[in-house]
Structure 1
Amino acid sequence: MGFAIGSYCLGALAGCLIAGSLQNKYGRIKALLLSSIIYILGSIVLGLTFHQVQFIIGRVIIGFACGLGGVVAPTYLGEIATIQGRGILGTFHQLFLVIGLLLSNLIGLAWSTPPGWRLVMAFNGVPALIQCFFLTQVVESPRYLVSQKRIKEAQRSLQILRGPEKSVSVQEELDDMILLLLGKRVSVDENKDYIDTLSVTSPITEGIPPAVQRGDSTATLQSDPTTVIPPGPSHNTKKQTFRNSQESYGFLTLLRSECRGLALIGVMIHFFQQATGISGLVYYSTSFLGDTFGPGNSKYITVGVSICNLLATICAIFLINRVDRKILLMASLSGIAASAMLLVIGAYAGIGNLVAVAVFLYVITFAIGMGPIPWLLLSEFLPTYALSSASSAATGVNWTFNFLIGLLFPSLAKAMGNSTFILFGGFCLLGVVFVWIFVPETRGRSIEQVMAEKGILPRSPTTSS
């Protein structure tokens, strides 16, 4: 039973590991379309299941689609959003996850017994079919197009996203993307995609050397190789090399690059998301709530938990642009730790109402911070050429621990009872310390600003992978 549940996460792990290369090679929209097609295939396999092995295979296929979409969708949302709207748009990813969770619980109430469960499994394909249609109406990510040096397409895509050309100018935003991703200023004309400007004498801003950021003087940008030479009294000033390629970082390259510190922060945040124990709570809530309220009532409490999760996620949409990301993360982790302790106390004292309250608080505090924010952060502080590999790595860690918790939670619960949640509470307290020390604030700030604060220049690594 534990492996059948966890097999979904194994498929998701495989999907997220390949997602980075797929979205870099074929683009965000085509990768999402592939994810939808795989969802439909998996739903057919599950709906027609006649053996346990086929059921597990169907779970793996659905998981693969989820892992693929789980990397590409947040990446796409982060790349198309404005700085002001990035938080709200990114939170919609988590919002629709919890809507799906609630919907599956409601469907399960009516169709959980044979042969209705086949309809529950087959229903996976319905949202995928809807997405296949709407993806044909969606523009590609401008940042991805710039990284591929398809500048005119990027300009058209950005204009569609931001509004009519008569009322909204996208040139400045496009220039910033080009400078960060290609390391050069370019201009578009009607006859070809772009023209390299061999030198720039105007100040270059965020994400560029500190002396230039402060406006001390101007910088010269040379196109081949692309370098920025900070001005100074001596001609021996060390050159700062900028990245001059549309090639994205592979995993090994990322670990040797200037972005490895930020990427590792993103990976750790995804680890702490699963270390909260939320997967165990979701997967097995009906089982352990049944010990307190009886198996006949526990499934209704589980639906109530999903409704609470949805309402809390909606609240997070209103908080995300009003409260710093770090504050929300630390408040969320602290609240989960406190909820875990209340759950353990209620279980051992035999206070059923306290257990129910603790479960609801667990979900609420998770939803306001640790639910949506980990999916936002990487796209808020990493440039496009480092984002895909970092997202794959972070999501891979997420799904690995999701699988381990789904697999081991029954054994832990059997050995430790509800004391298992003391372990998760301890991880949450460690997460508070980690966020306080290492995680940069990204609310209302551009990628270039966050990188500049960390002293990171967009440059090529010495080796490639």
Structure 2
Amino acid sequence: MDSRTLTTLPRHMVFCGVVACLTSLSIGYVIGSPNIPESAIRGLGGDCGPHAPFTIQHGFPNCFLFSDLLWGFAIGSYCLGAFAGSLIGGSLQNKYGRIKTLFLSSVVYILGSIVLGLAFHQVQFILGRVIIGFACGLGGVVAPTYLGEIATIQGRGILGTFHQLFLVIGLLLSNLIGLAWSTPPGWRFVLAFNGVPALIQCFFLTQLVESPRYLVSQKKIKEAERSLQILRGPEKLVNVQEELEDMVLLLMGSRVPVDDDKDYIDSLSSSPSGGPYGFRTLFRSECRGLALIGVTIHFLQQATGINGLVYYSTSFLGDTFGGGNSKYITVGVSACNLLATICAVFLINRVDRKTLLMASFGGIAASAVLLVIGAYADVGILVAVALFLYIIAFAIGLGPLPWLLLSEFLPTYALSSASSAATGVNWSFNFVIGLLFPSLTKAMGNSTFILFGGFSAIGVAFVWFFVPETRGRSIEQVMAEKGVPPRSLSYS
């Protein structure tokens, strides 16, 4: 059987995807870990006793004094590290490969978890968030890239949702652990736990195969063939020859049989058009239009304000339902997010990408309006329903698809730089939302969500006019639709 026509998910490909996405689980855990324990970390409500926040237990302060603005900075500071990690993530994965970059990300997760768990000052707390954010930035680039490069054409949609699926699993896990350890000094365990998935990943990374597309880009054709065969199944059942030659054609500009002599392969790859694009080359190349589409989708994802709810839902809901109840609603929201993301896994290969994206943007815009109406009318049940609808609308499209789309319409030589740029934009505006959300809601009240709803409405129009449909189509087909020829014919 030709590997390009596989309709089932090969077992080892799924295994590699799951191990790679332990990084995604860690990202979700980092995002959600300070939410429920916020009161305990800040010593609100007398959690640290009458002398809060300076009570000491076993040599460490039970709580830290954070103003609203400083807390917003502390929460969002991991995005600064993630921004730096995402900017160099593309270069690192091009130089050292996808697997080694994943390993580096895991090591940094472990280091950041230790710093957070042993924090004795606000500055160290923020430093720990920045360090662990750097790991998030690396992982946010390399995990989706790796998933896109190892997936079959038919399995690309499902495998591509793994990043967001594991992210929301990590988010729910952080809420559940936070619910159990949301008193001083239990919050230290909540923050330190993020090193556990990274330790597990370090153990299993040795059993992963490198991305075949990456190996082709490094002129390692025989290694790419072996890697592809392992990912697709036994040689006697699955023939990978044609798929490999398609990779060589796209990435090296010529259809080269795998048994051709090395000198000829080297001569192709040493041409001016060989090798991956850097940032400057990417945005001067034939791929710039597709790259800008990917970057814009990542910006609009954050402009929906979703992470304002994720970071601050406990304190936000506390105004309506009380602090005790808001913790449980936050866990319910995370569980709803997971269930909706699982639904997205089943929808992703059955519904067009553009349809899911427009439904997602439209649903968020409508939910934002309902949330504001419910808040101003003091109808708590409407606020809760709108919040759940907000999360569901995000999860079915905007959660998984921005990470998937880049790998579906950009070739490997443009993908790393485009992923770094898009992820950098994502983390930058994630930081802005995390920093400003408490102050915005204090100044504007619930009207803040009208702003987010407006950006969501813009997202509907952007997807309709500019985003190409990628479901069930090869990268070559999408590029041809957008008038983007292979670089050997257009750029040197």
Structure 1 residue 463, shift from structure 2 partner: 8.7
Residue 472 of structure 2 corresponds to residue 444 of structure 1: yes
C-alpha distance in structure 1 between counterparts of 2:272 and 2:152, whole Å: 25
Structure 1 residue 196, shift from structure 2 partner: 3.7
C-alpha distance in structure 1 between counterparts of 2:251 and 2:316, whole Å: 50
C-alpha distance in structure 2 between counterparts of 1:318 and 1:397, whole Å: 28
C-alpha distance in structure 2 between counterparts of 1:295 and 1:366, whole Å: 25
SS of alignment partner, residue 283 of structure 2: helix
C-alpha distance in structure 2 between counterparts of 1:449 and 1:244, whole Å: 24
Q: How well do the aligned residues superpose, as a CA RMSD in angstroms?
A: 1.8
Q: Provide the residue aligned with 1:280 in structure 2.
A: 308
SS of alignment partner, residue 84 of structure 1: coil
Alignment of 1:53-202 (within 5 A): 53-189=123-259, 194=262, 196=264
Given that 2:253 and 2:488 are in contact with CA atoms closer than 8 Å, whether structure 1 keeps it comes out as: no
Do the aligned partners of residues 163 and 51 (structure 1) sit closer, same or farther apart at CA in structure 2, a change above 3 Å counting? same
Given that 1:48 and 1:118 are in contact with CA atoms closer than 8 Å, whether structure 2 keeps it comes out as: yes
Q: Provide the residue aligned with 1:28 in structure 2.
A: 98
C-alpha distance in structure 1 between counterparts of 2:294 and 2:209, whole Å: 27
Structure 1 residue 303, shift from structure 2 partner: 0.3
SS of alignment partner, residue 187 of structure 1: coil
SS of alignment partner, residue 39 of structure 1: helix
Do the aligned partners of residues 295 and 461 (structure 1) sit closer, same or farther apart at CA in structure 2, a change above 3 Å counting? farther
Residue 325 of structure 2 corresponds to residue 297 of structure 1: yes
Structure 1 residue 462, shift from structure 2 partner: 9.1
Residue 481 of structure 2 corresponds to residue 453 of structure 1: yes
C-alpha distance in structure 1 between counterparts of 2:411 and 2:479, whole Å: 9
C-alpha distance in structure 2 between counterparts of 1:243 and 1:270, whole Å: 33
C-alpha distance in structure 1 between counterparts of 2:489 and 2:76, whole Å: 37
Residue 43 of structure 2 corresponds to residue 15 of structure 1: no
Given that 2:144 and 2:403 are in contact with CA atoms closer than 8 Å, whether structure 1 keeps it comes out as: yes
Unpaired runs of 5+ residues, structure 2, are 1-70
Do the aligned partners of residues 460 and 58 (structure 1) sit closer, same or farther apart at CA in structure 2, a change above 3 Å counting? farther
Alignment partner for residue 268 of structure 1, among 272, 296, 306?
Answer: 296
Q: Provide the residue aligned with 2:48 in structure 1.
A: none
Alignment partner for residue 398 of structure 2, among 348, 351, 370?
Answer: 370
Structure 1 residue 194, shift from structure 2 partner: 4.3
Q: Provide the residue aligned with 1:405 in structure 2.
A: 433
Q: Provide the residue aligned with 1:48 in structure 2.
A: 118
C-alpha distance in structure 1 between counterparts of 2:171 and 2:390, whole Å: 16
Q: Provide the residue aligned with 1:233 in structure 2.
A: none
SS of alignment partner, residue 442 of structure 1: coil
SS of alignment partner, residue 487 of structure 2: coil
Structure 1 segments, 4+ long, off by >3 Å, are 192-197, 223-226, 242-246, 460-464
User: Structure 1: which amino acid aligns with 2:327?
Assistant: K
The one-character-per-residue Cα deviations of 1:148-201 (angstroms, maximum 9, x if unpaired) are: 110000000000000000010000000000000000122233xx874748xxxx
Alignment partner for residue 327 of structure 1, among 355, 362, 385?
Answer: 355
C-alpha distance in structure 2 between counterparts of 1:13 and 1:252, whole Å: 18
TM-score (norm 1): 0.88
Do the aligned partners of residues 278 and 69 (structure 1) sit closer, same or farther apart at CA in structure 2, a change above 3 Å counting? same
Unpaired runs of 5+ residues, structure 1, are 198-222, 227-241
Q: Provide the residue aligned with 1:390 in structure 2.
A: 418
C-alpha distance in structure 1 between counterparts of 2:397 and 2:483, whole Å: 27
Given that 1:149 and 1:246 are in contact with CA atoms closer than 8 Å, whether structure 2 keeps it comes out as: no
Residue 280 of structure 2 corresponds to residue 252 of structure 1: yes
The one-character-per-residue Cα deviations of 1:180-233 (angstroms, maximum 9, x if unpaired) are: 0000122233xx874748xxxxxxxxxxxxxxxxxxxxxxxxx9789xxxxxxx
C-alpha distance in structure 2 between counterparts of 1:279 and 1:193, whole Å: 52
More helix by share: 2
User: Structure 1: which amino acid aligns with 2:203?
Assistant: F
Identify the range of structure 1 (323-332 vs 107-116) with the bigger mean alpha-carbon deviation.
107-116
C-alpha distance in structure 1 between counterparts of 2:261 and 2:121, whole Å: 55
C-alpha distance in structure 1 between counterparts of 2:267 and 2:91, whole Å: 27
Alignment partner for residue 354 of structure 1, among 379, 382, 385?
Answer: 382
Identity percentage of aligned residues: 83
C-alpha distance in structure 2 between counterparts of 1:459 and 1:442, whole Å: 20
Q: Provide the residue aligned with 2:49 in structure 1.
A: none
Structure 1 residue 461, shift from structure 2 partner: 10
C-alpha distance in structure 2 between counterparts of 1:108 and 1:75, whole Å: 31
C-alpha distance in structure 1 between counterparts of 2:194 and 2:491, whole Å: 42
Given that 1:11 and 1:63 are in contact with CA atoms closer than 8 Å, whether structure 2 keeps it comes out as: yes
User: Structure 2: which amino acid aligns with 1:107?
Assistant: I
Given that 1:182 and 1:244 are in contact with CA atoms closer than 8 Å, whether structure 2 keeps it comes out as: no
C-alpha distance in structure 2 between counterparts of 1:195 and 1:400, whole Å: 44
SS of alignment partner, residue 256 of structure 1: coil
Do the aligned partners of residues 81 and 295 (structure 1) sit closer, same or farther apart at CA in structure 2, a change above 3 Å counting? same
Do the aligned partners of residues 346 and 35 (structure 1) sit closer, same or farther apart at CA in structure 2, a change above 3 Å counting? same
Number of matched pairs: 422
C-alpha distance in structure 2 between counterparts of 1:146 and 1:334, whole Å: 40
C-alpha distance in structure 2 between counterparts of 1:245 and 1:260, whole Å: 15
C-alpha distance in structure 2 between counterparts of 1:244 and 1:441, whole Å: 31
Alignment of 1:208-219 (within 5 A): none
Do the aligned partners of residues 310 and 291 (structure 1) sit closer, same or farther apart at CA in structure 2, a change above 3 Å counting? same
Given that 1:185 and 1:196 are in contact with CA atoms closer than 8 Å, whether structure 2 keeps it comes out as: no
Alignment partner for residue 428 of structure 1, among 456, 477, 483?
Answer: 456
Structure 1 residue 257, shift from structure 2 partner: 0.2
